Amino acid sequence: MSACAETLAEFTRGLTFDAIPLEVAENVWLRCLDVLGIALASTVQDFAPAVLGVAERWGGGGECTVVGTKLTTSPPLAILVNGSLAHGLDYDDTHTASITHASAVVIPTVLALGESLGLDGRSLLTAAVAGYEAITRIGMAAPGSFHARGWHATAVCGTFAATLVAGKCLGLDRQQLANALGIAGSFASGVLEHLEDGSWVKRIHPGWAGHSGALAAALAQGGFTGPASILEGRFGFYSTFLGERVDLASRLQTLGRQWETLRVAFKPYPCCHYNHAYMDAAARLKREHRFSPSEIAEVQCLVPAGEVPIVCEPASAKRRPRTSYDAQFSLPFSVAAALVEDEVWVDSYAPERLGDPLLLALADRVSYSVDSASRFPESFPGWVKIRLRDGRLLEAREPVNRGSAENPLPLEAIVVKFRRNAGRVLPPSQAALIEREVLALDRSPDVRSLLRLCRTP
């Protein structure tokens, strides 16, 4: 029986643009647009100077664009920086079944390699799809298990996906791709301890995964070897990270027939995806019943057990987030924002909002109980009960998070999201050119023209 790395290598090596359904291709271009908008908006956030400074001090003068700046750098550093910017607002998409932020890993990797090598749009799309199909299945083989052990699934699973993306761009053969995956297993990393203090480190996880994947592919291109049994072996990925053997092979049987790319959910809110359906449910009750925050006596959220350590506990810290990033992983703060504001977006989590007395008073009235019948992580559901001071009890459920394949965002919403994010850095005319170029990438002879548009004037 072939090792899982060899199966993924064979799929990646043999994948062609013509084998990819049109709806998958169109979906990937929207994800590219989404990621570029988020990365642009991130360049004016408080964490950005530290990330951009790495490229400025150590990598100036390369051929790859650092999005939203005048900087250029080498492919690995461009991937590190752009991938970190793409995830910096926690506004990037999530594959629910694997709980991975696929695009923040895949898109910066493919764009940097494409720019470096002067690849056409179809080559980029083919490499990207190989990455999406890998990261999702590697995470789906152990749904929720990485987070339960303190690993960030995006970071550890994403390293393998980025390796395949980079390897496809570099033209690696089947054996080289398998070796690259074997190397990548020693690079995979990313822990969730940021949840204890709201620090920034999670933001760099997709960038690090992409950076590591590109290096693994380059090493394999030069003849370096890695173990073919890296995923399922005795000392392989699942055994060492989770302490258990996992059946990834069955997940790989559908490669090229079922397209997990389509099941990656766009984000309507810039915060942890676990919060979204609760925010939608709360906002719907507010619209339908027209109550004010002062009329709310209590808000109860029924939460899957797997979400509790991420967005609900410790309860005191979640009700008083210490940083913006802390707030993005707080269910009480996010639900309060949805009940107070007409629209929740990037500025809702700005540092100056963390001390808002109205938000904090309402967050104090948000509690949770465990929903043992939840479908999580098959979907990220929301179930909210609001008791008003006049005695009325209101209830709303969102069984599937908005932006997913089962509850999709309209095309217009994704485009508007890009325009608003890009508009924080670029003039509307330049953002419009990026939009036009991205949505026609399948006809682009050279992706470098797109990346040049992503630099500041």
Q: What are 56-67's pLDDT values in tens digits? A: 999 777 999 999
In 3D space, the residue among 76, 126, 143 whose CA is nearest the CA of residue 377 turns out to be 143
Q: Which residue type occupies 76? A: P
Q: Residue 446 and residue 216: Cα distance in Å, rounded?
A: 25
- Quick one: three-class SS letters along 306-352? HHHHHHCCCHHHHHCCCCHHHHHCCHHHHHHHHHHCCCCCHHHHCHH
pLDDT at 11 over 90: yes
Q: Which residue has the tokens 């390699």?
A: 113
pLDDT tens, position by position, 338-367: 999 999 999 999 999 999 999 999 999 999
The per-residue pLDDT of the chain, averaged, comes to: 97
The pLDDT of residue 1 is: 47
Whether 329 has a pLDDT exceeding 80, the answer reads yes
- The pLDDT score that the predictor gives to residue 61 is 79
Please give the pLDDT value at position 85: 98
Percent of the chain residues past pLDDT 90, beyond the cut: 97
Give the span between the Cα atoms of 286 and 280, in whole angstroms: 10
Q: pLDDT, tens digit, for every residue of 393-409?
A: 999 999 999 999 999 99
Q: What is the pLDDT of residues 176-222, one digit of tens each?
A: 999 999 999 999 999 999 999 999 999 999 999 999 999 999 999 99
User: Does residue 108 contact residue 95 with C-beta atoms inside 8 Å?
Assistant: no
Whether the upstream peptide bond of residue 377 has omega within 30° of 0, thus cis, is yes
CATH number of this structure's domain 4-267+410-453: 1.10.4100.10
Q: How far is CA 10 from the centre of its chain?
A: 26
Separation CA 182–CA 215 (nearest Å): 12
CATH 1.10.4100.10 residue ranges in the chain? 4-267+410-453
Name the segment(s) of the chain with CATH classification 3.30.1330.120.
Answer: 273-398
C-alpha torsion angle, residues 15, 21, 26, 32 (rounded to 10): -20
Residue 234 has pLDDT above 80, yes or no: yes
121-140 helix and 22-42 helix, angle to the nearest 10 degrees: 90
Average pLDDT over residues 147-172: 98
> CATH fold of 273-398, please?
60s Ribosomal Protein L30; Chain: A; (3.30.1330)
Express each pLDDT in 421-437 by its tens digit.
999 999 999 999 999 99
Mean of pLDDT values over 87-111: 97
pLDDT reported for residue 59: 77
Cis bond upstream, residue 314 (ω within 30) = yes
pLDDT of residue 2: 77
Q: What per-residue confidence (pLDDT) applies to 249?
A: 97
Quote the CA–CA distance of 225 and 372 in Å, as a whole number. 45
pLDDT over 70 percentage in the chain: 100
Please give the pLDDT value at position 60.
Answer: 72
Q: Give the C-alpha distances (Å, rounded to integers) separating 91 from 31, 425, 435.
A: 12, 16, 18
CB count within 10 Å of CB 231 equals 27
pLDDT digits (tens, 9 = 90+) for 223-232: 999 999 999 9
pLDDT tens-place string over residues 263-317: 999 999 999 999 999 999 999 999 999 999 999 999 999 999 999 999 999 999 9
d(CA 416, CA 425): 15
Nearest residue to 228 (alpha-carbon basis) of 417, 432, 2: 2
> pLDDT, tens digit, for every residue of 160-176?
999 999 999 999 999 99
